[in-house]
A and B are shown apart, each in its own frame.
Chain A
């Protein structure tokens, strides 16, 4: 079930710029995750957010979980070419261990 809508779908920016990716849903989640996938590889977990309003930082990446736990954002400061990849939010099924992914944001950082 595709309940997580990400925006924008594609993003191409210059090195050094800032950007924000959004993950929205009409449902409330107990937690939400962000993954990054590089070409030829599987997704790799960046962070899990659990508490409404929670903010987590991972170097130049800032993740926020909405107060109502229906949405999340990923902000990248001073983007670098190494940030290029597909960014995916994901949620786990409340009644099981299945994980469902958002529609994805493809980021290209141009040197």
Chain B
């Protein structure tokens, strides 16, 4: 199993500003995943973060808007840049089970509201 800590748990931000979300895992993992969950909706994969290489972004998401860092095997950050009200969502960090099971562990998420 993996325990994931995300910070902040929630924030209210002004449009045009940026917010960096931190994700800390209690074990070393190869891949970390960032998801967005818009109000009342399911999870959409933003990007996959590998240590030592550029993050891989899904269609509709770009590095300029959502820069990601992955400095080591237990930590990652996602920045939501130049925010607008449309960015109001829950942002979730997750990792895959290292035991070979197809299973994701999630942090509790960051609830972001942009005014």
A35 and B92 CA atoms in complex are apart in Å by 14
The residue of chain B having its C-beta at the shortest distance from the C-beta of A40 within the complex is B108
User: Cβ of A35: which chain B residues have Cβ within 8 Å of it?
Assistant: 104
Cα A104 to Cα B37 in complex, Å, equals: 11
Residues of A within 8 A of B108 (CB): 40-42
Chain B window 91-115, contacts with chain A (Cβ cutoff 8 Å), 1 for yes, 0 for no: 0101010000111111111000000
Does the CB pair A48–B48 fall under 8 Å?
no
In the assembled complex, A101 has its CB within 8 A of some CB on chain B: yes
B43 within 8 A of A: yes
A-contact bits for B39-56, CB 8 A (1 contact / 0 none): 011111100100000000
Give the residue of B35, B44, B59, B102 whose beta carbon is less than 8 angstroms from that of A92. B102
| CB–CB A88/B42 < 8 A | yes
Complex contacts, B59 vs chain A, CB 8 Å: 1
Contacts of B43 in A (CB 8 A): 43, 88, 101
Tell me if B33 counts as interface (CB < 8 A to partner A). yes
Interface residues on B, range: 20 to 34
- The answer to whether B73 has its CB under 8 Å from any CB of chain A is no
* A35–B43 alpha-carbon span in the complex (Å): 11
- Taking a contact as CB atoms under 8 Å apart, the answer to whether B109 and A98 are in contact is no
Residue among B42, B103, B106 with most chain A CB within 10 A? B42
Can you give 12 A-B contacts (C-beta < 8 A)? A2-B42, A41-B108, A42-B106, A43-B104, A43-B106, A45-B104, A48-B103, A88-B43, A90-B104, A96-B48, A99-B45, A103-B41
Q: Residues of B at under 8 Å CB distance from A? A: 4, 31, 33, 35, 40-45, 48, 58-59, 92, 94, 96, 101-109
3 closest residue pairs by CB, A with B: A42-B106, A104-B42, A101-B43
